[in-house]
């Protein structure tokens, strides 16, 4: 008698089990795994107060141009700082391990008219070429298309000695758009938005 009852109960439960299996049941593990790993929130980068910031393009060594610079000194990890408008707080925030004593030095010689001037003035403080090169990954002197020397022009993306000399030879430019058109011609694929942001 007992065996008959068990068989009847099993017969009643079998369709329910099949139904749950077909519907996926209440897979608490999948629910928990999806809720415990929410999609990462989008982040935005903001410049410090008073700073003009030029975007930089991402390179193969950096996953995103919108991330904060790492201590490895990634040139493209963040927007560059305009040396003529940035504050001491901007330098401390953006440049990894930036020494406190150089905040004053960076600010003292503003406005800078060329990157050569910046190198000369800061170089007075026993700063080597390697250190200056590292700092220049995070800042720039605004580029005036009709006045900038070749070294200052080379701050722009994809501008090397050859492109810089051709940009100088093509002067004068009627306006910034004419300069950017020439830059695009001489350096195909250049990030014009990044270049435009660095013009003074």
Q: Are residues 112 and 128 in the same domain?
A: yes
Q: Are residues 108 and 183 in the same domain?
A: no
Domain count, the chain: 2
Q: Is 30 among the domain residues?
A: no
Burial class (CB in 10 A: 0-12, 13-18, 19+), 139: buried
- Split at pLDDT 50, 70, 90, the class of 79 is confident
Tell me the chain's radius of gyration from C-alpha atoms. 29
> Domain range holding 184?
143-200
Query: Which pLDDT does position 64 carry in this prediction?
Result: 32
Whole-number mean pLDDT of the chain? Answer: 76
Element (DSSP H or E) covering residue 54: strand 53-54
Comparison of pLDDT for 3 and 153, the residue scoring more: 153
Q: Are residues 120 and 97 in the same domain?
A: yes
Q: Are residues 198 and 173 in the same domain?
A: yes
Predicted confidence (pLDDT) at residue 169 exceeds the cutoff of 50: yes
Cα–Cα distance between 181 and 61 in angstroms, integer?
28
Q: Are residues 151 and 122 in the same domain?
A: no
Q: For residues 115 and 151, is the Cβ–Cβ distance under 8 A?
A: yes
Q: In sequence order, which residues have a C-beta less than 8 Å from that of residue 197 and are 6 or more positions away?
A: 52, 53, 54, 55
Q: Which of 21-35, 99-113, 145-159 has the lowest mean pLDDT?
A: 21-35
Taking phi first (over 0 means left), then psi (-120 to 50 degrees means alpha), and beta for anything else, what does residue 25 get?
left
Q: Are residues 123 and 149 in the same domain?
A: no
- Split at pLDDT 50, 70, 90, the class of 13 is low
Which of 142, 169, 185 is the C-terminal boundary of a domain?
142
Comparison of pLDDT for 28 and 85, the residue scoring more: 85
Q: For residues 101 and 107, is the Cβ–Cβ distance under 8 A?
A: no
In this prediction the pTM is 0.63
- Split at pLDDT 50, 70, 90, the class of 55 is low
Comparison of pLDDT for 117 and 35, the residue scoring more: 117
Q: Is 44 among the domain residues?
A: no
Q: Is 182 among the domain residues?
A: yes
Q: 63: helix, coil or strand?
A: coil
The DSSP code sequence of 90-146 is: HHHHHSTT--THHHHHHHHTPSPS-HHHHHHHHHTTS--HHHHHHHTTTEEPPB-TT
CA angle 187, 133, 75 (to 5 degrees): 60
């Amino acid at each position: 008698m007992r065996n008959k009852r068990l068989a009847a109960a099993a017969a009643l439960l079998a369709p329910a089990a099949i139904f749950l299996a077909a519907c996926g049941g209440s897979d608490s593990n999948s629910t928990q795994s999806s809720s415990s790993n929410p999609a990462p929130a989008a982040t935005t980068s903001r410049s410090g107060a008073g700073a003009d910031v030029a975007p930089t393009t991402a390179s193969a060594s950096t996953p995103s141009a919108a991330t904060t610079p790492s201590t490895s000194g990634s040139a493209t990890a963040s927007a560059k700082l305009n040396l003529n408008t940035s504050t001491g707080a901007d330098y401390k925030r953006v440049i990894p391990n930036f020494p406190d004593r150089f905040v004053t030095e960076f600010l003292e010689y503003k406005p800078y008219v060329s990157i050569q001037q910046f190198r000369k003035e800061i170089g007075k403080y026993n700063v080597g070429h390697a250190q200056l090169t590292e700092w220049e990954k995070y800042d720039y002197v605004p580029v005036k298309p009709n006045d900038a020397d070749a070294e200052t022009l080379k701050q722009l993306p994809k501008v090397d000695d050859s492109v810089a000399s051709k940009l100088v030879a093509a002067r004068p430019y009627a306006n910034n758009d004419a300069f950017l058109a020439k830059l695009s011609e001489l350096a195909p694929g250049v990030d014009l938005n990044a270049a435009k942001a660095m013009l003074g």
